[in-house]
Structure 1
Amino acid sequence: MKLGQIVVLWIVTVALSLSWPIGTFAQSKRETAQTVYFASSGNLSLDKYFIDLVVENLGPGFKVKPLPTHSPPSKKNAPIIAIGPKAFARIYRSTPNTVMIGTFVDRQFMDKYATEQNSRITAIYYDVPLLRQALTGKVILPQADKVAILASYVNRNSYGALIEQLSAYGLEGKVFIVADKEQLIPSVIRALSYGDFILGTPDHDIYHPRNIKHILLTAYRRNKILIGPSQAFVKAGAIASSYAPFSAIAEKTASHLIYYRENEVFPAAVYPDAYGVELNEQVARSLNIPLPERPRISEAVDELLEDTLQGVLDD
């Protein structure tokens, strides 16, 4: 072999040896992107809006795709964002060992899945902590000192911790049990006789479309109000409800997914970090209740929570 041929062969060999690691590195880098699937809520507009917010918070290290409907995901252990309780329950039934984060689900729903014992599933709660809802009522009615809570028989023992928390804010709480549908109005009347307002809860046996009209009319006739349990009930006639904005849910969802990529387990299910307030100004006018501005209500609730927490830390 001539010297010129040897030189050419050496140059080609060196070039190949240099290009191989670069290509391999690029391929390896592509493979490190975390694949995430999402299971639809059935509302395509909501799905797109929410997933776009999640993607903005995740950054370029993730690929978010719709969950295949007829075949399992190609990526083993790829986390799934379940949008809504129906999506979560459907995926959990079909693949109980899946890695999944529930969104737009309330704590009562997720309690059935014992997330504390299973680091492969978690959730960002959609409902509002009841203490925050109660303080929303306190900000709207500064003179209020008693909170009434309606509870189905099944959930009658679910509010002990809340009632203990209320005392730090100058509030007392009492639970009124609704044993069956015939007892709804008598229980509401007793609750209204005791409380300055009724605190709505995620108790689906009580707060559903068949009951809400009767609860609200009974309260209205006695010049009392309902706080919560969600934005939907404000439209129906509750005076106010705190709620978690989509952006806050998306931000927390992204942070849980990032944690999973780094640790291969999920952190515990949590509430979002930020809340807004929905108001029914027509109801407020009818009852001659002056309403603070929406942002001021949220800020006042945050201040109450922070002040009490700081007091506990100082002690």
Structure 2
Amino acid sequence: MKSPTYPVVLTIIVPVKNEADGIEHFLNRIVPVLENIPKKPAWEIIFVDDGSTDGTLAEILSSRSKDSRICAVELSRNFGKEAALSAGLDHARGAAVIPIDVDLQDPPEVIVAMVEKWRAGFEVVCGVRTNRQTDGFVKRSTANLYYRIHNWLSDHKIIEHAGDFRLMDRRVVEVVRRLPERNRFMKALFSWSGFRETTVEYQRNEREAGTTKFNYFKLWRLALDGITATTTVPLRIWSYLGFVLAAVGLVFAGWLVLDTILRGNSVPGYSSLMVAVLVFGGIQLLSLGILGEYVGRILIEVKQRPVYIVRDSFGLEERE
């Protein structure tokens, strides 16, 4: 068993946006789980309010008035879930840290098994979904495809069907906190750290309150961030493709010269010309788009703006 040197053994990070209806449900479910973990580790829950416009913060503060172990970080606007997770990691003081969503699709009861694995010596314990029946067919299919593409392209693999719900040792948290990049794909950063890792399987539940804040456009942006943040293979692919196309073009040009010498100059067809223009033009635009994705991320990194801005915090200043 580990011997934590931190006054709080376990920190739960909960990013929220417009989840006023879910705060009480979440706490009623997770607090008894934390209270019944063997050897009763000291714990805290840090809600990160990512620009909510409803009564989410008021609900959190109401719960805090009943239990001082419930804390809150209020961001100045919506910075996105990856930034909210970063804010939670920066303010967590536990010897182990667990991000979890407030919608209870990831069951808090799994935390007990995660703590057991951590005490056994593992530094990262990932929650892995054994099914995605709560997701629609399109989302399940695209998720499966994304994991395969990401792990094929990237040198640092991520565990398939493992989200942000995981336990991380303090050493892992400190490594992630020191990473300077602004474009953050947290699952890849956790994997990149390279500590001893294991998994705990569970079945994903239906959301108990509120509505999801993700849509397919946001998921697409997250997928692009995940690939461009972890690998430069897409850039190399277009280098290889350009070489192949150039070689094919030279062979075709040689054939045209030879054909003209042997059979004379024939009038080329309009259809074949348009096909060539559209195909090669589409390839060029696609390659420029990929280059633009990387250049845009370079611009964001060069600006060196903070990942998030804190408007206020509750319960964090008291423990310094």
**Higher RCO, 1 vs 2 (CA within 8 Å, ≥6 residues apart):** 2
Q: Same fold (TM over 0.5)?
A: no
TM-score, structure 1 normalization: 0.23
TM-score normalized with structure 2 length? 0.23
